[in-house]
Amino acid sequence: MAPHDSPDDGTTDDLIDGLVRSAFQVMGVLTRIGAEHDLSLTQLRVLGIVRDRCPRMSDLAAFLGLDKSTLSGLIARAERRGLLTRGTSPEDKRAVVVLITDAGRELTERLNEEIRRVLAPATGRLDPEQRAQLTQLLEPLLSPPLPAVPRPERPARGTA
């Protein structure tokens, strides 16, 4: 009867169904808005991450679940468009850090506004109390984001 062999559930299967459907819907919105600005979903995501972080290539790749080589191409294309820049870490001369440019930051802002605007009809179907409640219920499910370290402040004592 039940979709699988858990004792009593049903709540879990319904929840997963809702989460998956909502995920596809959100991705649809992000994909469309990105496409209107010639950005893939991944590039949109990279912009959102690099907006307040300067991650190393390898950390970013790991976070995104992509191979290093994939990231090389992704960053190269964004760099060619003037949205991102590569910098070298003072601590490790092998490492490359990804930095957002002013143009990239402006585009990211515009993108975020559009996302809020397009999603507004949906989120508006809940009242503020329900929105807060939904946000709270979602929180325990979320994995932690990349630590938001804007820049390495310490001059890497011991290495230099």
Partner DNA sequence: TATTGTTATACTCTATAACTATA
Partner DNA sequence: TATAGTTATAGAGTATAACAATA
Instruction: Determine contact, residues 104/53, Cβ cutoff 8 Å.
Output: no
Q: H-type helices in the chain, by residue range?
A: 11-36, 41-50, 57-64, 68-80, 102-123, 128-138
Site string for DNA, 113-152 (x = CB under 7 A): ----------------------------------------
* 158: its two tokens: 């011991």
Number of residues that bind its own copies (CB under 8 A): 52
Per CB under 7 A, contacts with DNA among 50-69 are 56-58, 61, 65-69
Indicate which single residue of 21, 37, 86, 117 sits in contact with DNA (rule: CB under 7 A). Answer: 86
In sequence order, which residues have a C-beta less than 8 Å from that of residue 31 and are 6 or more positions away?
Answer: 41
Distance CA 127, CA 25 (A): 20
Site string for its own copies, 119-148 (x = CB under 8 A): xx-xxxxx-x-xxxxxx-xxxxxxx-x---
Q: List contacts with its own copies (CB under 8 A).
A: 3-4, 9, 11-28, 30-32, 45, 65, 112-113, 115-116, 119-120, 122-126, 128, 130-135, 137-143, 145
